[in-house]
A and B are shown apart, each in its own frame.
Chain A
Amino acid sequence: MLLQRLLFLLTLAAAATAQMRDCPGISGDGYKVMLDNLSVFGPGGQTTTLLRDRLRQKVQFDLSAIQLETTPQMVLVPCRDRAPQDVTDFNPVIVDSLNDHRVLVEVWGQIEAHAGLSVQRAQLNFTVVPVNFYDRPVVPPGGFSTAYQRRIGGNPDELVKIFGDFSDLKAYVSIAAGVKSLKEHDYDQAFQCFCRADALLAQPPTGMEPAVRASLVKYVNQEVNNAFTQAHNDQPVRSSLGLDGTRPVCPGAL
C-alpha cells in the first residue's frame, strides 16, 4: 500500500516537472501551431500508449490539412517533452513568450484510461495565444477545450474516429491568425482570417460549447470592425480594406 502511494506521488512529481518545458524548434520564422505531448491518467498500459500515439498522429494529420488550406502558412511544431497539466500553466509570462514567437495555438490534452473499464475519455485543450494575450476576458474560465468520450471494445482507433475533422481546431487557428495579422497591421489578411473563422463557427464545430461559440462569433464580428477601422486610420499601410469608406462584407455572407 505504502509502495503504491509512493509510486503515485513519484508519478505526480514527474508529471509536475514535465509541465512547461521548452520546445526545440520554436525559433523558426512564421506562424506556428504547437502540439504538446498528451498526458495519460490512469494505469494505462499498452492500449493507452497506442491510443495516445494514434491521437497524436490524427492531430498532426489534421494540422497538416489546415496548413494546406489556410492563409497565412504556418508550421506545425511538435513538442514531445511539453505537457501542460492545467489552464493555469499558461500564466502571462508563458503566453507573452508564445506570442513573441508567433505561436497561434498550442494544443495539449489528457487521456484518461482505465484498464478493464469500457469507457475511455480524452480531452483536447487549445490555448489560443493571441486571444489569451490581448483579449483575456474572451477566454472561458477553463480555457478552450473539447472533451471526447467513447465506449470502446478494446480498439483504440474507435476513439480516434470521433475526433472527426477537428473543425473546432480550424476555427481557433483562424481566429488566432486573424488577431495576429491585425496586430501586425496586415489588415487584408486579418479580414480574410476572421471571415473564415466566422464561416467555420456558423457550422457548429463538433466539440465546442454553444455559449463559447456564441461568444466567439460576437468577438470575431467585433474584430472585423476593428480591422476595418484600423485599416482606414493607418496611413503608412496600404490596404484594400475600407478604401471607399464602407465596411466590407465577408465573401459568401448574406
Chain B
Amino acid sequence: MGADDEPEFDDSAEAEPPEPGGGESGEKAEAKGPKDFWDKLQALSPFVTGVVLAAIGYFLTGSVNKTVQKSQLQFNYVKEMQELLAKLGDSKTTLEEAKTTAVALAAFGSYSIPPLLNEIQSGELNRPAAGEYGLRAAALADPANACPALTRVLENRTAAYNWLTDRAAIRILGSAGCPKAQPVLAGYRVRLSAAASSPDGFTAFQATLADEPTVTKETVDQLKSEVGKSMKLLEQAGLQQ
C-alpha cells in the first residue's frame, strides 16, 4: 500500500479556528443589555394569555350558566303551569275557579302571556273570559313584556287570532296604559272603518281573523266601541304623565 492508497480525509472542519468572542459568552453579553418593549411583552405573554383565557372562561361559564338556569327556570315554569292549564281546560271548572287559576298563571309573568292568549282562543264559554282576566293581571304587573305582545296581536293579519283575542288585546292595552299602543289602535280603527263601510272591506277584515267565533257586523261595531274606549284611556294616561 502506498501513500496514494491512504484514504482521503476532509479535515477542513478541524482546520477552522474557533470563533473569537462567539457562542455562550456572546449571548451573556446580549442579556446584560437593556430590555426593550418586545422583550417585556414576551416575558409577560404567558401570564397575559392565562389571564385572558381565565376571563373568557369566566364569562363563557357565566353565560352558559345563565342560559342553563334560564332554560331550567322555563322548564320548571312549564311544569308548574301545566297543572294550572289542565285546570283551566277542565270543562267542570266554573268561571270563578277559572278566573282564580288564570290569575295564578299570570304570576309567572311574561311566561304566562302565550298560554293566556291561547285560553282566549279556546272557543269555549269560561276559558276566554278567564284568559282575558289573567292577561289583564299579567299586563298590569309587567307592562314592559305584555304591551308589545298585545300590540303584536293587533298587528297580525294572518288569521292567527280570533276576534275575542283582538278584543281582549284592545281592552287590556287601554286599561294597562300601554304608551306605544296608540298608533296601533289608530291603525286598527282604520281597518274597522273600512270593514264597516263596504261589503268588500268587511270580507277583507274577516279574512284577517280566525273563523271561530264568527266575525259579524256586530263584532265590528263592538270592536270599534272598544277601540274608542281604549284610546280615551290612553289619552287620559298621557295627560296624567
Known: A100-B164, A184-B217. A21 touches B129 (CB 8 A): no
Known: A23-B125, A81-B91. A184 touches B212 (CB 8 A): no
Shortest distance between the CB of A92 and any CB in chain B (Å): 10
Contact between B129 and A17 (Cβ–Cβ < 8 Å)?
no
Q: Does B187 contact A (CB under 8 A)?
A: no
Task: Tell me the bound Cα distance from A102 to B217 in angstroms.
Answer: 13
Contact between A94 and B95 (Cβ–Cβ < 8 Å)?
yes
User: Which residue on chain A has the smallest CB distance to residue B95?
Assistant: A20
Number of A-B contacts (CB under 8 A): 70
The residues of B that contact A29 with a CB separation of less than 8 Å are: 211-214
Task: Tell me the bound Cα distance from A100 to B125 in angstroms.
Answer: 9
What count of chain B residues pass the 8 Å CB interface test?
27
Known: A81-B91, A236-B197. A20 touches B126 (CB 8 A): yes
Q: B94's contact among A17, A96, A101, A183, by CB below 8 Å, is which?
A: A17
Q: Which of A30-64 contact B (CB under 8 A)?
A: none
User: Which residue on chain B has the smallest CB distance to residue A182?
Assistant: B218
Task: Tell me the bound Cα distance from A237 to B52 in angstroms.
Answer: 74
User: Which residue on chain A has the smallest CB distance to residue B198?
Assistant: A236
Contact between A22 and B124 (Cβ–Cβ < 8 Å)?
yes
Q: Does A93 contact B (CB under 8 A)?
A: yes
Task: Tell me the bound Cα distance from A93 to B126 in angstroms.
Answer: 9
The residues of B that contact A100 with a CB separation of less than 8 Å are: 128, 164, 213
User: Which residue on chain B has the smallest CB distance to residue A25?
Assistant: B124
Q: Does B199 contact A (CB under 8 A)?
A: yes
Known: A20-B94, A22-B91. A97 touches B126 (CB 8 A): yes
Q: Does B84 contact A (CB under 8 A)?
A: no
Contact between B213 and A183 (Cβ–Cβ < 8 Å)?
no
Q: Does B238 contact A (CB under 8 A)?
A: no
The residues of B that contact A184 with a CB separation of less than 8 Å are: 216-218
Task: Tell me the bound Cα distance from A182 to B94 in angstroms.
Answer: 31
Q: Does A140 contact B (CB under 8 A)?
A: no
Q: Does B45 contact A (CB under 8 A)?
A: no
Contact with A along B62-95 (1 / 0, CB 8 A): 0000000000000000000000000000011111
Q: Which of B81-131 contact A (CB under 8 A)?
A: 91-97, 123-129
Q: Does A67 contact B (CB under 8 A)?
A: no
Contact between B95 and A93 (Cβ–Cβ < 8 Å)?
yes
Shortest distance between the CB of A201 and any CB in chain B (Å): 24
Q: Which of A199-254 contact B (CB under 8 A)?
A: 236-237
Contact between A22 and B127 (Cβ–Cβ < 8 Å)?
yes
User: Which residue on chain A has the smallest CB distance to residue B221?
Assistant: A183
Q: Does B233 contact A (CB under 8 A)?
A: no
Q: Does A154 contact B (CB under 8 A)?
A: no
Contact between A21 and B91 (Cβ–Cβ < 8 Å)?
yes
Q: Does A26 contact B (CB under 8 A)?
A: yes
Q: Which of B174-227 contact A (CB under 8 A)?
A: 196-199, 211-214, 216-218, 221
The residues of B that contact A23 with a CB separation of less than 8 Å are: 91, 124-125
The residues of B that contact A97 with a CB separation of less than 8 Å are: 125-126, 128-129
Shortest distance between the CB of A237 and any CB in chain B (Å): 8
The residues of B that contact A21 with a CB separation of less than 8 Å are: 91-94, 126
A-B contact pairs, 17 of them (CB 8 A): A17-B97, A20-B126, A21-B92, A22-B126, A27-B123, A93-B95, A97-B126, A97-B128, A97-B129, A100-B164, A100-B213, A101-B125, A102-B213, A183-B221, A184-B216, A236-B197, A236-B198
Given contacts A24-B124, A98-B125, 19 further A-B contacts (CB under 8 A): A20-B94, A20-B126, A21-B91, A21-B94, A22-B93, A22-B124, A22-B126, A22-B127, A24-B91, A26-B124, A27-B213, A94-B95, A97-B128, A102-B214, A183-B218, A184-B218, A185-B218, A236-B197, A236-B198
Binding site for A on B (CB under 8 A): 91-97, 123-129, 164, 196-199, 211-214, 216-218, 221
